[in-house]
């Protein structure tokens, strides 16, 4: 599995700070919602991740919500389960980073997908974070140059917060996840946040941890400054 990425800047660009005081994750309701409103300015979104929150719109009523689920889904970087068939699939794709961010997020936001939640404001927010060097895509390409699957998320220090993934060919999104985990391990990252576990993610090794444990791991992750890393 080849792995290429575009040269990164000397570090991501820190945006102006948020004008909002985001609530503490401990104030979340039973569904994990901490608050509703604010904005998707880069400074606000980064402040949320640094606080243990992430944005996701509600469908009814239509509103921007900030979440801190308990338990929280994480993928242990040493616990990814790679089956024999997945290992074989990894040899069929080339992994690239940040070469097709817009196409990845558009594919993740495809309205034909069930339970779609990525709307235009979300897409624009993460495109802005990508231009600033905080949001990244990990892509699985076929040998003839077709984007077969991928994922995107936000990197801050030793944290990578995964947002969404998609595939057009069998196992392509899983291959992208393998590529992400390998890179994070190589760089010394310590936390891969997947927000909520699903049967699919659990089959790959994802686990649930309590909110307090997540926040402790987050503090450690944010203290890391990784050379040539995704995040700053």
Bridge-based pairing of strands 159-167 and 191-195 is: parallel
Bridge-based pairing of strands 94-97 and 72-74 is: unpaired
**Residue spans of beta strands (DSSP E) within the chain:** 3-5, 33-36, 54-58, 63-67, 72-74, 94-97, 135-141, 147-156, 159-167, 191-195, 207-209
Per-residue confidence (pLDDT) for residue 6, from 0 to 100: 46
The answer to whether the CB of 117 falls within 8 A of the CB of 63 is no
Domain spans in the chain, listed from the N-terminal domain onward: 3-9+71-222, 25-67
Strand arrangement of the beta sheet that strand 54-58 belongs to = 33-36, 63-67, 54-58
CATH class of 3-9+71-222: alpha beta
Cβ partners under 8 Å of residue 218, min gap 6:
50, 52, 159, 191
Please state the length of the chain.
232
Per-residue confidence (pLDDT) for residue 11, from 0 to 100: 79
Cα–Cα distances (Å) from 169 to 10, 58, 59, 89, 141, in that order, read 35, 30, 29, 10, 10
Could you say which residues of the chain have pLDDT below 50? Answer: 2-9
Question: What single-letter DSSP state applies at residue 184?
Answer: H
Q: What is the 3-state composition of the chain as percent helix, strand, coil, each rounded to the nearest 5?
A: 30, 25, 45
Question: What single-letter DSSP state applies at residue 134?
Answer: S
Strand arrangement of the beta sheet that strand 72-74 belongs to = 3-5, 94-97, 135-141, 147-156, 159-167, 191-195, 72-74, 207-209
Return the closest-CA partner of residue 135 out of 222, 4, 12, 9.
Answer: 12
Distance from C-alpha of 26 to C-alpha of 34, rounded to nearest angstrom: 8
- Among left, alpha and beta (phi > 0; psi -120 to 50; other), residue 224 is beta
Structural element, H or E, at residue 85: helix 84-90
Per-residue confidence (pLDDT) for residue 8, from 0 to 100: 44
């Amino acid at each position: 599995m080849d792995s290429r990425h575009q040269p990164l800047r000397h570090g991501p660009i820190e945006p102006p700070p948020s004008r909002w005081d985001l609530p503490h994750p401990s104030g979340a309701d039973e569904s994990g919602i901490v608050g509703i409103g604010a904005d998707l300015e880069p400074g606000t979104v980064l402040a949320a991740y640094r606080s243990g929150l992430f944005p996701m719109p509600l469908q009814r009523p239509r509103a921007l919500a900030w979440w801190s689920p308990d338990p929280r889904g994480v993928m242990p970087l040493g616990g990814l389960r790679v089956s024999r068939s997945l290992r074989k699939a990894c040899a069929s794709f080339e992994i690239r980073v940040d070469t097709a961010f817009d196409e990845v997020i558009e594919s993740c936001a495809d309205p034909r997908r069930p339970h779609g939640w990525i709307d235009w404001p979300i897409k624009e927010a993460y495109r802005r974070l990508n231009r600033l060097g905080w949001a990244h895509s990990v892509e699985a390409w076929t040998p003839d140059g077709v984007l077969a699957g991928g994922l995107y998320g936000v990197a801050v220090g030793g944290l990578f917060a995964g947002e969404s993934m998609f595939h057009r060919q069998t196992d392509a999104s899983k291959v992208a996840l393998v590529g992400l985990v390998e890179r994070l391990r190589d760089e010394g990252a310590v936390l891969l946040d997947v927000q909520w576990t699903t049967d699919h993610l659990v089959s790959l090794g994802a686990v649930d941890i309590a909110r307090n444990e997540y926040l402790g791991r987050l503090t450690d992750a944010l203290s890391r400054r990784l050379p040539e890393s995704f995040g700053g």
